[in-house]
Structure 1
Amino acid sequence: MRKGWYGWVFAIAIILALFPGAHPTAAQNAAAPVVTLRFEGSLTPVMLEHLKRAEKIAQNQGAQAIILELDTPGGEIGLMNQIVENIRASAIPVIVYVAPRGAMAGSAGTMITLAGHLSAMAPETTIGAASPVGPSGEDIGETMQSKVKGMLKATARTLASNRPPEALRLADEMIDSGKAVSNAEAVKIGLVDLQANNLNDLLRQLEGMQANVGEQTVTLHTQGAPVRDVPRSLIEELLMVLANPNIAFLLLAVGVQAVLIEIASPGGWVAGFIGSVCLLLATYGLGVLPVNWFGLLFVVMAFVLFLLDIKAPTHGVLTATGVATFIAGALVLFNSPNVPSFQRVS
């Protein structure tokens, strides 16, 4: 009796091995995973590295698509171009999803949305206002503005070449006059492919859609597909914190003060070490953020005044002047009277 039972088990195992479709879970596991990541805030180099890392993970896991959730007021044009190039060069379809409710694809975010192989927006989101401005939000010269707008419009026409003529005209208006539209308007005109309430709704609507990736057409099977989120790494989180203007200024202030303490009371090393580290970290933030260099000049002048007061005491006159200069620099360091509602550059 036992031998007969073993025989039946062996026969069933052979059948399952020869006919994989007989497995009850085969259909459930057939869909390749979808990788997700999120861009939130003004564009920084950290986001570009995050995207590259997510693409590598997607390739290693055999993902069928990458969903980039986007909420940005914009960023620097050179960085935007690198992100666009990276998306267009991806061997895996990249779907740009402007989300959650209340999010925007402002300025450079407009170009990133157009660069996606497919695009979607959540309800109550906006896209547009892609007129170029200077690094601190100020207007740029007429000749330079004409050149930059011409390049941006050519890029937009290339990215939206498969979209209706109305969508191309809207993209031009976003760059020429800074026009912005709602999610419903963008979908109706054809600038964006879908409106999705959430990620699950997006995966459901993407089912069966086709994306042109290079010379190939990829058909998506996303409904019920497993989702693999790729959050920012610890180092990326730290660099994003350093790109906060408040943190950058705080590090700058602490660094200057610590270095002055070390100069006033030489012989120790703690204050000098802390000051040097803070200044180095602040330098990264200043390199990423749109800095008003006039304000930075005031901060440097304040440091010089503090140093002179240490070496040649003037009963606090230079210190008071340095404090006033430092406050003036702080007020304009990350601010400009011409900053538009969609921050700085396209």
Structure 2
Amino acid sequence: MKADGRTKLIFAIGMIFAVLLSSLMVMADENDTSTVVYTVNVEGMVTAGTTNHIRRAIDMAENDGAEALVILLNTPGGLVNATLDIIGDMISADVPVITYVYPQGGIAASAGTFIMLGGHKAAMAPGTTIGAAMPVQIRPDEEGSTAADDKTILFLAGHMKSIAEARNRPGDVAEKFVTENLTLSGREALESGIIDRIENNLTDLLAGFHGESIDLESGRTTLNTKNAAIYPLEKTTQERITHLVSNPQITFVLLLVGVYGLIIGFSSPGTFVPEVLGAISLILALYGLGLFEVNFFAALLMILGVGLLVAEALTPTYGVLGVGGVISMVLGIIYLPVEPLVSERWLSQFRFMAFGIGIIGSVVLVIMLAGIYRLRKSPVVHGNNEFVTDMATVVETIDPEGLIMVRGELWKARSVSNERIDQGEKVKIVDRENMTCIVKAEEEK
């Protein structure tokens, strides 16, 4: 009996130990953060800075052995070259790339749709939208924007289809994003096979894709993303600056600051602040201009406008050259960017910004002309009569020549009657001959 009791006790203790051990194993599994997932936020306009950010994130994820890279999308569109570079990096990435339209209510339009299709896995949050990727352009005879030429549309539609098919998604639906300006909700995108899942948040997304297989260049891998540690990768300072100056709106503001800074600096030298600020802004603007597609003839208009403004500042024509310069600058800015993947709203904002620059330029021009007009109307302050009737102090005895201090400056002086005037005495300037002031002692009245 005692043996049976002892056996039962040992069995009970063993059961309790087994339950505790299994519980600890489950807790350890739930808190396992040995796997890492990196995330990148793509918000606002897609620029060269966005390209650099995603490229660095892919390299870090590959080198650090991350389980996956999640690109969070909430963008209305962006620059063509930047978008194509991002897709190229994603296609060749040797780490699983998951694209996720997030947060709820967000969009991945135009360039954002291209990027979304480039992920090995794609998902959307509830209430999000993708599509509207038909390329657009500004036309001189249109108030807003219009569809780009057929060549551009066909190329981008074919590229969109190619990206979708490379990720085993329906190419016929993908190309309609470009040819028909198709837009899809999360549910519609899921039903058509464009995306793989609809998830409320990032944690659910990683749990949902856990265990799924992905084909990489290095071979097939199985996602182990459940309970993975999430590390957001923020932009570096360099990437933020590149993102800023590669936005055409910022580029043209910098260009305006640069041009007027140099004009004001050269017209009124001395402080060096306008020249330095203008030079830095101009260099940043020129760097930014090289990061997006431009219209050659619009660039010529801008160069002409800058030349006319400089000519107006150096050889004032009472506004004739200045007005022509402002008009050329505004027209050049409006038609300079050739970016078919930006949104129509962005194009409208860009047009308003161009007119705003024109108004600011006109105001600065009016101020400059008013100043020039006042200068031409004001009496001459230099010449032989500049110091006449001014009082001065002798700093070196005049016998018959010496030095005087007038208006904080040292001038050579000669007595009108060739008499001696001692140092420290007050004299009155009666005339000036070249660089010599003619003076008489104060008491000689």
- TM-score, normalization by structure 1: 0.78
Q: How does 1:225-236 map to 2 (within 5 A)?
A: 225-236=228-239
| Alignment of 1:175 onto 2:178 | yes
Match of 2:254 in 1: 251
Which of 147, 153, 156 is equivalent to 2:164? 156
Aligned CA-pair RMSD: 3.4
Q: 1:331 to 1:148 in 2, by over 3 A?
A: closer
Residue pair 2:78, 2:343 contacting (<8 A) in 1 also: no
Match of 2:129 in 1: 126
Q: How does 1:40-79 map to 2 (within 5 A)?
A: 40-79=43-82
Match of 2:282 in 1: 279
Instruction: Give how far 1:289 is off.
Output: 4.7
Instruction: Give how far 1:293 is off.
Output: 5.8
Once the two structures are superposed, residues 290-338 of structure 1 have per-residue CA deviations (whole angstroms, 9 ceiling, x without a partner) of 65666554443332222222333323443344445545555666699x9
Structure 1 letter corresponding to 2:157: K
Q: 1:256 to 1:312 in 2, by over 3 A?
A: same
Q: 1 CA distance for matches of 2:328 and 2:243?
A: 28
Moved beyond 6 Å, runs of 4+: 22-25
Instruction: Classify the secondary structure of the residue corresponding to 1:73.
Output: coil
Q: 1:62 to 1:88 in 2, by over 3 A?
A: same
Q: How does 1:17-96 map to 2 (within 5 A)?
A: 27=29, 28-29=31-32, 31-96=34-99
Q: 2 CA distance for matches of 1:314 and 1:342?
A: 39
Q: 1:342 to 1:216 in 2, by over 3 A?
A: farther
Q: 1 CA distance for matches of 2:248 and 2:154?
A: 30
| Alignment of 1:319 onto 2:327 | no
Q: 2 CA distance for matches of 1:107 and 1:292?
A: 21
Instruction: Give how far 1:63 is off.
Output: 1.4
Residue pair 1:71, 1:98 contacting (<8 A) in 2 also: yes
Match of 2:189 in 1: 186
Q: 1:309 to 1:132 in 2, by over 3 A?
A: closer
Instruction: Classify the secondary structure of the residue corresponding to 1:29.
Output: coil
Instruction: Give how far 1:120 is off.
Output: 0.6
Instruction: Give how far 1:228 is off.
Output: 0.9
| Alignment of 1:288 onto 2:296 | no
Once the two structures are superposed, residues 111-145 of structure 1 have per-residue CA deviations (whole angstroms, 9 ceiling, x without a partner) of 32222111110111111223344599654433454
Q: 1:266 to 1:121 in 2, by over 3 A?
A: same
- TM-score, normalization by structure 2: 0.62
Match of 1:212 in 2: 215
Please say which structure displays the higher CA radius of gyration. 2
Instruction: Classify the secondary structure of the residue corresponding to 1:279.
Output: helix
Q: 1 CA distance for matches of 2:118 and 2:70?
A: 13
Instruction: Classify the secondary structure of the residue corresponding to 1:315.
Output: coil
Match of 2:376 in 1: none
Q: How does 1:193-208 map to 2 (within 5 A)?
A: 193-208=196-211
Q: Using CA pairs under 8 Å that are at least 6 residues apart, name the structure with larger relative contact order, 1 or 2.
A: 1
Instruction: Classify the secondary structure of the residue corresponding to 1:212.
Output: strand
Q: 1:126 to 1:305 in 2, by over 3 A?
A: same
Match of 2:245 in 1: 242
Structure 2 letter corresponding to 1:146: L
| Alignment of 1:263 onto 2:266 | yes
Instruction: Classify the secondary structure of the residue corresponding to 1:101.
Output: coil
Percentage of pairs with the same residue: 34
Match of 1:112 in 2: 115
Residue pair 1:80, 1:112 contacting (<8 A) in 2 also: yes
Q: 2 CA distance for matches of 1:36 and 1:110?
A: 18
Q: 1:343 to 1:174 in 2, by over 3 A?
A: farther
Q: 2 CA distance for matches of 1:114 and 1:129?
A: 14
Q: 1 CA distance for matches of 2:33 and 2:130?
A: 35
| Alignment of 1:308 onto 2:311 | yes
Q: Which runs of 5+ in 1 are unaligned?
A: 1-21
Structure 2 letter corresponding to 1:73: P
Q: Which runs of 5+ in 2 are unaligned?
A: 1-23, 140-144, 348-445
The structure richer in strand per residue is: 2
Residue pair 2:39, 2:70 contacting (<8 A) in 1 also: yes
| Alignment of 1:146 onto 2:154 | yes
Q: 1:134 to 1:288 in 2, by over 3 A?
A: farther
- Answer with 302-311 or 143-152: which moved more: 143-152
Instruction: Classify the secondary structure of the residue corresponding to 1:116.
Output: coil
- Answer with 237-246 or 263-272: which moved more: 263-272
Residue pair 1:66, 1:94 contacting (<8 A) in 2 also: yes
Q: 1 CA distance for matches of 2:45 and 2:196?
A: 24
Instruction: Give how far 1:342 is off.
Output: 7.6
Q: 1:279 to 1:138 in 2, by over 3 A?
A: farther
Instruction: Classify the secondary structure of the residue corresponding to 1:231.
Output: coil
Q: 1:107 to 1:146 in 2, by over 3 A?
A: same
Structure 2 letter corresponding to 1:56: D
Instruction: Give how far 1:236 is off.
Output: 1.1
Residue pair 1:74, 1:342 contacting (<8 A) in 2 also: no
